[in-house]
Structure 1
Amino acid sequence: MQVSIKWLNDYIKFDETAEELADKYTMSGVPVENVIRADEGLDKVVTGRIEKLEAHPDSDHLQICQMNVGEKELIQIITGAQNVKEGQIVPVAMIGAHLPNGLHIKKGKLRGLPSNGMLCSADELHMDLDKLPEEQKNGIYILPADTPVGVPAKDVLGLDDVVLEFELTANRGDCFSVMGLVREAAVLTGNEPHYPEIKVNEDDAASAADMVKIDIEAKDLCDRFSARVLKNVKIGPSPEWMQQRLEGAGIRAINNVVDVTNFVMIELGQPMHAYDYDEIKGHHLTARVAKAGENLHTLDDSSRVAKGTELVIADDEKPAGLAGVMGGLETEVTEKTTTVVLEAASFYGPNIRRTSRSCGLHSEASGRFERGVDVTNTPRALDRAAQLLQEMGACTVTKGIVDVYPQPKEPVKIDFTAEQINKRLGTKLAGAKMVEILESLGFAIEEKGAEVYTATVPSWRNDCTYMEDLSEEVSRIYGFDNIQSTTPFGRVMQGRQSARQNFIDKIKHVLASLGMTEELSFSFTSTEMFDKMQVPADSMLRQAIPIMNPLTDDAPLVRTSLLTSIMENAVRNFARKNTDIRLFDVAPVFYPKALPVTELPDEVVKLTGLITGRRHPFGWNQSNEMVDFYDMKGIVEELFRALSISGYTVEAGEHFALHPGKTALFKKGREVIATVGELHPAVAANFGIKQKVYLFEMDVETLMKYTAKNFHYESLPKYPAIARDLAIVVDESVAEGAIKTVIERNGGKFFCGVTLFDVYTGEHVADGKKSLAFNLKFQSKDKTLTDEEADAGFNSILKAVEEKFQAELRA
């Protein structure tokens, strides 16, 4: 938001300089980012008349000018400009001037003759060349013949204005208008504002209600919708003073109707739009939600396809404008327009913001609607626009305003006490002082008791709803620098990571030490990724939260699985010829409680990993073996060892994205703590992957639950162990983990470990059978074991596996 000092001065007079006023605004919480002076560098530029002009004796292109600049004597200036003549009045930069283009004017000589200044062009004065006629864009700028001589050029050229550039916070929507800034200036300077008298002469016999009908269908997105009708409209340029005010606000003048709507928007903070009445089908405007697939043809001559969430202003056939953002091209006011419908409304800010971002359109209007406008202001804005156009002689005004206001806004009332505000601010202000400050800001205060009050919030202050908001108003006007600083008191706690953060760091350290690389990925995915991963149609993973304004159309959902993210990164590596990959990711996934979302989703931290390619780094002294299932299984087992997770079992399992015969589930009891397996061939084909890929997936909270919390230490054994080898033949369907479990349960008190060291199928082993060889270890803490004691444990194990699995001892 930017506004010129001249515009503020139209409604309030103050003695402060622009810089002093900017400082007062900033210290009161209405920050001024920059003070822009249009007259910068023009301090020593005055108007001068060329009294005599003659050619330079030693040059064929220089001319000698005898200039009258309002001093007793003429001054001599040498110029190379060819568009000057005697009697013309031009801007003259005197000696010592520092022009906006950086040029410093000094006394000098040109071809031996003294020159005491410089005649200036429009470009050297930093004027807007786009607004000048062609003959004034080049050469010396020629001023009107009746221009006084010797006066500051900035006054004549209209370059004596100063623009304040505000960097307003989102809650101060009221200050996105000249009136709002004038209200603030009145409080800060103590001067009385004089607001324009808004009075319309309804000089046309027709009634607006008979000419146009308006409705609100989307009552949750549009609070109020008002319109006026202007007849006998004459399109032309707006007055110079209005163009200057708009230019100071950073808005380009177009024509009187458009300029007036922009002027009122900046002045009152109420965006408006003008429609060509004859182009409105059915002479009927409705605020409704766009239909999905509907064409939105806006003033920038761009066509957009509606998603079905945008609010539009539509006639009886099609949208006539994107509500709160930009009007429609078909109903644009042109030179042929004779009847205009002026529209002012109040729209739901969050919807306007979403629409603006999704369409890639940001306008002065959308910025104001996003922050909230004064719903009571629409009739006043329509009257102001009609008044301005009427004063220009550009229209006649029909009778009445068509106003649809289904649920009039009730004023907000806030109860507070002086003690509450003083306690919050650390001040000792009297209640009367607080009342004085709040009333100066437009709040109506009712005293309920001894320093007990009720404040009625003015309609333009949508940001004030609680006592805390009132305390902020009191403090900023009283002056933050007047509030005594105190040392905060409270218990100081050392900042540290949570147990979960430490656990995750340990996981990362372990996996990195195993040669894996951590990936960082966006928390977004798509239905296409679910399809490629073969996620079942009824899986909860497909109940992903849609993003209202996705960064890219390729990822419109919030992810429910890390597998989609790690597969995307793997494919990205394959595309860049990197086929030896070891990745892991620890990050949250999001499970909504219901769709559409009405409350925050469950955020669950998952761990996933992926390996593929060579087992060893490429080199002359390394083999070219490829990683297999057992490499990934080993990584998981080493991670569990480092996390002190033990007592788990491993069994065959199933997973939608993994090979049905090469998937293992790590379990504690009945709970799965890890899933490990080879990527399903169909999934690999979906991603265009032609080599074997191995994955694991875990839940971090589950891992934390099973990590050992209490540890005890034992001394190293003093006595030797006895080892026995057990080779048995069992059915191929019997899992090695199940056999290990039986061995551990039946080994006796001296049993201390089992290791599978051989798996064999083939000659001397029947079809459908396999041979498993285990090394059994027996040891005592207090004595040397005898063979008989070890044999007792061995025989117990053998008997148990024979009974449980119909195992046969292999000779």
Structure 2
Amino acid sequence: MNIKITYNWLLEHLETNADPYEIQKYLSLCGPSVEKIDKAGDDYVLDIEITSNRVDCASVMGIARECQAILPQFGKKAIIKPVHLPMLNSFNEQNTLPLSIEDPENLINRALGIVLDSLMIGSSPEYIQKRLESCDIRSLNNLIDVTNYIMLEIGHPVHVFDYDRIKTGKLIFRKARKGEKIITLDKKEYVLDEHDVIIDDGTGRIIDLPGIMGTENSVVTERTQRVLLFIENNHAKNIRRTSMKYGIRTEAATINEKHPDSALAETAFIQGIVMLKNLAKGKEASSVIDLNHHKTELKTISVDNRHIASLMGIDIKPEESASILERLEFKVVQKGDALSITVPSFRSKDIAIEEDIIEEVARIYGYHNLPSYIQITGFIEQPPDIAKSQTTELKTKYFLKHQGFNDVFNYSMISAHDIRNFKLKIEDHLKIANPISNEIEYMRTSLIPSLLENIVTNQGRRDQFHFFEIASVYLGRVGELPEEKRVLAIETTDDFYSLKGYVENLMLEFHINPSYVPSQNIPYLLPNIQTIINVEGVKIGALGRISPEIIQNFGIEHDVYICEIDFELFVKHAQTTPTYSAIQPFATIKLDLTFKKVPPETYSSLIEKVRKASNKLIDIEYITSYQDNITIRCYFNDHSRNLTEEEAKQELENIKKAIS
């Protein structure tokens, strides 16, 4: 995930003499990667990539902590400025308005809430508007802006409800009932199931999809005068499952699914009260509710500094290791080489074992400062069948590349829309339980829909398309894991004969002798332009022209010709080296033959007759065709003596009789 913060905002939490570009350089070496810096008036916007296990960095304060640890390694001053906030129990106990938060099924880690009254809704101060908009968050009003500002500054999502629209003053966490519906604040309707966690107002009415997005019936409006400031720290798995299932990918969901610190929720909550009182003139109108099921227990990990030095490959002193960890806000007790380290609550999810501690020391010390050693190269010989498959696949890719085709890599999943467009049955496809998008919801049973989408994507950029893909398709089996089959698909917008020529050349490259049998039974191909590819009497694939109806469904402006081959059977018959045959010492005679093809007879069946008609015929070459007339070149040879021209002509006559 990426976050954006501004340099001046960072300086409110960090005392440093490093400029934005030095922060970019040094953080990228040892911590979060600062991918880009943009000048914004008298400020700078830092675009920072955060790895998914480091949600503690996804805020201004988180980046300030990283700067405190990393910048001193490069001779730069970096000290965290303390944040002075009141204690949670310092807020006056108020009973003016009723408020209760219930979680009878233990569905969350922590929830905090307070009602604020007499609010003056309006625009936020200019500095808040500028910072939010610099970080790609639209400024709406002072109430909503406070929640977004705190999320960026502290790193925990915050929410405000319109207290009067809740009506009951109750928030009850429960599992949704299958079929219950909600309308989110972006006015989209979702049908829930029994795995989703929701907030009920005590009457059965859903007022929030917690940790993901608010609902339309409780959102703050221009008429709002009283708000419920609310923070919940959720079970990350529930957030991830629901967010992915419905495709609701909000900033809040992205953070909540990564285990943000429940102790951080308290800091964000107090900051929210302070800001709403200052910016919106709010007054406390209820008691503070703090429902805390899971207080984080700080873990202690013991590490021997000699182990740190051994894994890093350097002689690092225990004092230096301790200094690095303390700048990361770990508590360290040192006794000689033994380090007893207490992990801060905001790192409790990604620091679990001794090696995690060593990794922290190593990255802050700087991987670029560690010695480089070239490892001994190891080679593991693959089983013969796997080795042949890998070799054949690589050689196939190079061959098709040199034929002018582009190798494409598509997702193994496709959409229901593509399945219907391709005239396949949705029930024949395995469905992903929690797809991140409707575009990748079902496992492929054919590579062709993806290749057709490749043409759709590239239409208008070129006139001709030549694509191929080697990948697995997934066929469902009752009570078992799906069958994975390796498939080769070749696609062109040339014509049928060009595609057949590419396929024949590929077969020739691997010394496979296929036969082509006309077909009218492949539903996605045009009935009169399709053929089955057989090898030794077994079907290994098919080729033909995609039906106009399917082409129209996909919105493609070209005729498309496709070949799909069972790559496992292809590998079985493939030979990477030809079978040796001795050089013939006797002369070969070449004679041309022109004959008329009468439908429904095919070229393949005629050639088969030609081969059977003469035992002196060693090869056939296609020369040309005009209307129904086909010209071939026949090669005659005798393995024991030189043939005469008259004998060769007699063989040609035998062929003419066989096909007449």
Fold conserved between structures, TM > 0.5: yes
Q: Which of 562, 565, 590 does residue 698 from structure 1 map onto?
A: 565
Measure, in 2, the Cα distance between the counterparts of 1:262 and 1:650.
Answer: 65
Structure 1: runs of 5 or more not aligned = 41-161, 613-626, 760-771, 799-807
Q: Which residue of 2 is the match for residue 587 of structure 1? A: 469
Measure, in 2, the Cα distance between the counterparts of 1:388 and 1:716.
Answer: 95
Measure, in 1, the Cα distance between the counterparts of 2:290 and 2:309.
Answer: 47
Q: Which of 215, 220, 225 does residue 103 from structure 2 map onto?
A: 215
| 2:660 matches 1:779 | no
Q: Which of 516, 531, 534 does residue 650 from structure 1 map onto?
A: 516
TM-score scaled to structure 1, two decimals? Answer: 0.58
Contact 2:589–2:637 (Cα < 8 Å) also in 1: yes
Three-state SS of the structure 1 residue aligned to 2:103 is: strand
Measure, in 1, the Cα distance between the counterparts of 2:369 and 2:295.
Answer: 43
TM-score scaled to structure 2, two decimals? Answer: 0.69
Q: Which residue of 1 is the match for residue 312 of structure 2? A: 425
Q: Which residue of 2 is the match for residue 71 of structure 1? A: none
| 2:586 matches 1:718 | yes
Write the mapping of 1:9-408 to structure 2, written as runs, cut at 5 A: 14=15, 16-17=16-17, 19=19, 23=23, 26=27, 29=31, 165=46, 167=48, 169-170=50-51, 171-177=53-59, 179-180=61-62, 183=65, 188=72, 189=77, 194-196=82-84, 197-201=86-90, 203-204=92-93, 206=95, 211-215=99-103, 223-230=108-115, 233-236=117-120, 246=128, 249-250=131-132, 261=147, 264-265=150-151, 268-282=154-168, 283-286=170-173, 294-298=181-185, 302-306=186-190, 308=192, 313-315=199-201, 316=203, 318-324=205-211, 326-333=213-220, 337-338=225-226, 340-346=228-234, 348=236, 351=239, 355=243, 363=251, 365=252, 368-369=255-256, 372-383=259-270, 385-386=272-273, 394-396=282-284, 398-399=286-287, 401-403=289-291, 405=293
Larger Rg: 1
- Alignment-mate amino acid for residue 514 of structure 2: Y
Three-state SS of the structure 2 residue aligned to 1:167 is: strand
How many angstroms does 1:226 deviate by? 0.7
Q: Which residue of 2 is the match for residue 52 of structure 1? A: none
Measure, in 1, the Cα distance between the counterparts of 2:278 and 2:571.
Answer: 76
Taking structure 1 as reference, are residues 250 and 678 closer, same or farther at Cα in structure 2, changes over 3 Å only?
closer
Q: Which residue of 1 is the match for residue 397 of structure 2? A: 504
- Alignment-mate amino acid for residue 346 of structure 2: W
How many angstroms does 1:584 deviate by? 3.8
Q: Which residue of 2 is the match for residue 441 of structure 1? A: 328
How many angstroms does 1:506 deviate by? 1.2
Measure, in 2, the Cα distance between the counterparts of 1:420 and 1:176.
Answer: 31
| 2:503 matches 1:636 | yes
Q: Which residue of 2 is the match for residue 607 of structure 1? A: 489
Three-state SS of the structure 1 residue aligned to 2:512 is: coil
Measure, in 2, the Cα distance between the counterparts of 1:403 and 1:744.
Answer: 86
Q: Which of 336, 344, 368 does residue 458 from structure 1 map onto?
A: 344
Taking structure 1 as reference, are residues 181 and 715 closer, same or farther at Cα in structure 2, changes over 3 Å only?
closer
How many angstroms does 1:329 deviate by? 4.9
Measure, in 2, the Cα distance between the counterparts of 1:357 and 1:396.
Answer: 38
How many angstroms does 1:280 deviate by? 1.1
Three-state SS of the structure 1 residue aligned to 2:291 is: strand
How many angstroms does 1:279 deviate by? 1.6
Three-state SS of the structure 2 residue aligned to 1:376 is: helix
Measure, in 2, the Cα distance between the counterparts of 1:657 and 1:20.
Answer: 58
Contact 2:96–2:286 (Cα < 8 Å) also in 1: yes
Taking structure 1 as reference, are residues 286 and 35 closer, same or farther at Cα in structure 2, changes over 3 Å only?
same
Measure, in 2, the Cα distance between the counterparts of 1:388 and 1:223.
Answer: 26
Measure, in 1, the Cα distance between the counterparts of 2:558 and 2:58.
Answer: 60
Measure, in 1, the Cα distance between the counterparts of 2:650 and 2:304.
Answer: 87
Contact 2:108–2:233 (Cα < 8 Å) also in 1: yes
How many angstroms does 1:428 deviate by? 0.8
Measure, in 1, the Cα distance between the counterparts of 2:607 and 2:38.
Answer: 80
Three-state SS of the structure 2 residue aligned to 1:655 is: coil
Three-state SS of the structure 1 residue aligned to 2:517 is: strand
Measure, in 1, the Cα distance between the counterparts of 2:147 and 2:553.
Answer: 56
Write the mapping of 1:521-532 to structure 2, written as runs, cut at 5 A: 525-532=414-421
How many angstroms does 1:403 deviate by? 1.3
Q: Greater share of helix residues, 1 or 2?
A: 2
How many angstroms does 1:303 deviate by? 1.2
Q: Which residue of 2 is the match for residue 561 of structure 1? A: 446
Three-state SS of the structure 2 residue aligned to 1:460 is: helix
- Alignment-mate amino acid for residue 646 of structure 1: I
Measure, in 1, the Cα distance between the counterparts of 2:244 and 2:617.
Answer: 72
Taking structure 1 as reference, are residues 394 and 570 closer, same or farther at Cα in structure 2, changes over 3 Å only?
closer
Contact 2:183–2:189 (Cα < 8 Å) also in 1: yes
Contact 2:20–2:44 (Cα < 8 Å) also in 1: no
Q: Which residue of 2 is the match for residue 666 of structure 1? A: 533
Measure, in 2, the Cα distance between the counterparts of 1:437 and 1:600.
Answer: 49
Q: Which of 2, 21, 43 does residue 5 from structure 2 map onto?
A: 2
Taking structure 1 as reference, are residues 488 and 270 closer, same or farther at Cα in structure 2, changes over 3 Å only?
same
Three-state SS of the structure 1 residue aligned to 2:346 is: coil
RMSD between aligned alpha carbons? 6.0
Measure, in 2, the Cα distance between the counterparts of 1:480 and 1:724.
Answer: 75
Number of residue-to-residue matches in the alignment: 618
Measure, in 2, the Cα distance between the counterparts of 1:754 and 1:191.
Answer: 83
Measure, in 2, the Cα distance between the counterparts of 1:742 and 1:337.
Answer: 91
Percent identity (aligned): 19
Deviations 1:488-526 (A, max 9, x none): 4245899xx97633422212433x4xxxx7696965754
Three-state SS of the structure 2 residue aligned to 1:752 is: strand
Three-state SS of the structure 1 residue aligned to 2:156 is: coil
Contact 1:543–1:591 (Cα < 8 Å) also in 2: no
Structure 2: runs of 5 or more not aligned = 380-389
How many angstroms does 1:487 deviate by? 4.5
Three-state SS of the structure 1 residue aligned to 2:188 is: strand
Taking structure 1 as reference, are residues 737 and 178 closer, same or farther at Cα in structure 2, changes over 3 Å only?
closer
Measure, in 2, the Cα distance between the counterparts of 1:773 and 1:250.
Answer: 75
Contact 1:216–1:225 (Cα < 8 Å) also in 2: no
Measure, in 2, the Cα distance between the counterparts of 1:611 and 1:255.
Answer: 54
Measure, in 1, the Cα distance between the counterparts of 2:91 and 2:557.
Answer: 79
Measure, in 2, the Cα distance between the counterparts of 1:164 and 1:538.
Answer: 49
Using CA pairs under 8 Å that are at least 6 residues apart, name the structure with larger relative contact order, 1 or 2. 2
- Alignment-mate amino acid for residue 442 of structure 1: E
- Alignment-mate amino acid for residue 397 of structure 2: I
Measure, in 1, the Cα distance between the counterparts of 2:162 and 2:286.
Answer: 15
Measure, in 2, the Cα distance between the counterparts of 1:681 and 1:195.
Answer: 67
- Alignment-mate amino acid for residue 324 of structure 2: I
Taking structure 1 as reference, are residues 569 and 205 closer, same or farther at Cα in structure 2, changes over 3 Å only?
closer
Measure, in 1, the Cα distance between the counterparts of 2:635 and 2:21.
Answer: 88
Taking structure 1 as reference, are residues 250 and 564 closer, same or farther at Cα in structure 2, changes over 3 Å only?
closer
Q: Which residue of 1 is the match for residue 385 of structure 2? A: none
How many angstroms does 1:735 deviate by? 8.7
Deviations 1:32-70 (A, max 9, x none): 7659798x6xxxxxxxxxxxxxxxxxxxxxxxxxxxxxx
Three-state SS of the structure 1 residue aligned to 2:469 is: strand
Three-state SS of the structure 2 residue aligned to 1:561 is: coil
Taking structure 1 as reference, are residues 345 and 707 closer, same or farther at Cα in structure 2, changes over 3 Å only?
same
How many angstroms does 1:695 deviate by? 4.3
- Alignment-mate amino acid for residue 200 of structure 1: N
